[in-house]
């Protein structure tokens, strides 16, 4: 079932978390690093914000817990997170929305 249109727009941390999960499953620390990289060091998530967002995304069924694809041997129960079909659909919808917005903004900026 496609997510409700009310879910959009996403907040910046949520969008970045979903984007970081887009290539494949990641564990919490990897998501944190990826978000920092994607935002050019501008968004640095605290663990509270990260796991608060992850919980919300899990509750909405936009992501799921999976086994860590890169177990490091020390953390016995390290879990990774992966996008669900719903999550992927929502991310695409948000990227399309932003793309349209940027297109319109660019036209306006060129016109002026």
Partner 1 sequence: MNTPLALGLYRCLLAFYPTGFRTEFEAEMKAVFTQALVEKRASAVCLLWRELRDCPGMVWRTHLTERRERMTPTSSIQAQTRPAHSLVTASSWRDACLAALAFLIYLWYSAAGVILSALSEPLHLTRNMQSRITGYVAGVILAVDLIVVLLSWRRGWPRWSLPYLGVVLTWLVLVFQSLIKNDGSLLIFTALLVALIIILLAALGSWWKGLHSFYERLHRDWTLFGLVYLSYTPWVFIFMLDETRYQTTGTLLSSAILSLGVLFYLRCTRLGWQALVLPVAYTAASLVATYYLKAYGIYWQPFFESGHFDMLTIMLLLAIAPLLVVGFFELGRYAFNRWLQAA
Beta strands in 8-88 (DSSP E): 26-27, 63-67, 79-83
Beta strands in the chain (DSSP E): 26-27, 63-67, 79-83
Distance from C-alpha of 40 to C-alpha of 44, rounded to nearest angstrom: 10
Asked if 28 interacts with partner 1 (CB under 8 A), we say yes
Asked if 79 interacts with partner 1 (CB under 8 A), we say yes
The values of phi and psi at residue 2, to 5°, are -65, 145
Beta carbon nearer to partner 1, 8 or 43: 43
Beta carbon nearer to partner 1, 16 or 32: 32
Per CB under 8 A, the segment of 1-9, 27-35, 88-96, 104-112 that binds partner 1 is 27-35
Binding mask 38-77 for partner 1 (x = CB under 8 A): ------x-xxxxxxx-xxx--x---------------x-x
Enumerate residues 6+ apart whose C-beta is below 8 A from 46: none
Q: Least distance (Å) from partner 1 to the CB of residue 14?
A: 13
């Amino acid at each position: 079932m496609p997510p409700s249109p009310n879910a959009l727009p996403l907040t910046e941390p949520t969008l970045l978390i979903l984007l970081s999960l887009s290539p494949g499953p990641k564990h919490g620390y990897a998501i944190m690093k990826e978000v920092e990289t994607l935002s050019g060091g501008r968004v640095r998530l605290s663990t509270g914000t990260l796991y608060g967002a992850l919980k919300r995304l899990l509750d909405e069924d936009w992501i799921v817990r999976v086994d860590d694809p890169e177990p490091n041997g020390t953390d016995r129960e390290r879990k990774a997170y992966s996008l669900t079909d719903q999550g992927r659909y929502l991310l695409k919808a948000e990227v399309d929305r932003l793309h349209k917005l940027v297109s319109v903004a660019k036209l306006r900026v060129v016109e002026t």
